A = this chain, B = another copy of it.
Amino acid sequence: MSDAAIRTAVLGAQGRMGSEAVKAVENAQDMELVAALGRGDSLKKVLEAGATHIVDLTVPDVTEDNVRFAAENGLHAVVGTTGWDGERLARLEALLEQNPQVGVLIAPNFALGSVLASAFAAKAAQYFESAEIIELHHPGKVDAPSGTAARTAELMGQARREAGVGPSPDATQKDPGGARGAVVEDIHVHSVRLRGLVAHQEVLLGSAGEQLTFRHDSFDRASFMPGVLLGLRTAASRPGLTHGLDGYLDLGL
């Protein structure tokens, strides 16, 4: 392991995502796992181990304290825990002004393909007359549509409004059972629940004579790890707060 390795501490190391992150950091050539903290472990261990970066995959109750501790001690942070509302983000930005060399990434979604698909869909939506979304998940999911589908629809709808594109054409007069699905920001969203599936999404765009489709398939939690590693490799060069993995991608969007 070279001196230049990214010395990483994983917080929440016993959780489902955390244990994947432990494996991913261990397997990365340019990283060293220096600490793996579970529930009840003291944050001091992070400093004792000489970490330069933390990955926070804990729970909403403790994630803010963890990230503040990192920032105050000059450690970069990659955060996948939920619960970062506007108030928390504002407090963190204030803190980072006092620690201007620290980079923090807070990302609701680490699947590169999903983040790319959402960004491209938002970009392309203004160039087509029609836009709809189909999301497909395992049958254990309790909410419909998925959070990712709702967010994608919001981004697409907003981009279409700003470009002056009206709602998709639709002559439907009879739909007694609700087959046309939910409508989010003028975008129809359809939710399929099927045994065997994990998490999948299709964005469909259509104009006269052509269709453009983006499809993302998540088969496995492993799909989040390339995004976590990209976060660790990038955080030190992006001081301040970045919200969303797309902020680290070279999309120029």
A interface residue numbers (CB < 8 A to B)? 111-114, 116-117, 120, 123-124, 127-130, 132, 134, 136, 139-145, 149, 168-184, 188-198, 204-226, 230, 249-253
Q: Specify which of B111, B116, B129 is in contact with A195 (CB 8 Å cutoff).
A: B129
Instruction: Label chain A's interface by main secondary structure.
Output: mixed
A128 CB → nearest B CB, Å: 7
Are B209 and A196 touching (Cβ within 8 A)? yes
**Which of chain B's residues has its CB closest to A193's CB?**
B170
Are A168 and B193 touching (Cβ within 8 A)? yes
Q: How far is the CA of A134 from the CA of B176 in the complex (A)?
A: 16
CB-defined contacts of A184 to chain B, threshold 8 Å: 177
**Which of chain B's residues has its CB closest to A142's CB?**
B173
A12 CB → nearest B CB, Å: 19
Are B194 and A211 touching (Cβ within 8 A)? yes
Q: How far is the CA of A197 from the CA of B209 in the complex (A)?
A: 7
In the complex, given contacts A116-B212, A168-B194, A196-B223, what are 10 additional A-B residue pairs having Cβ atoms less than 8 angstroms apart? A113-B212, A129-B195, A136-B204, A141-B171, A176-B182, A196-B209, A207-B223, A210-B223, A211-B216, A251-B253
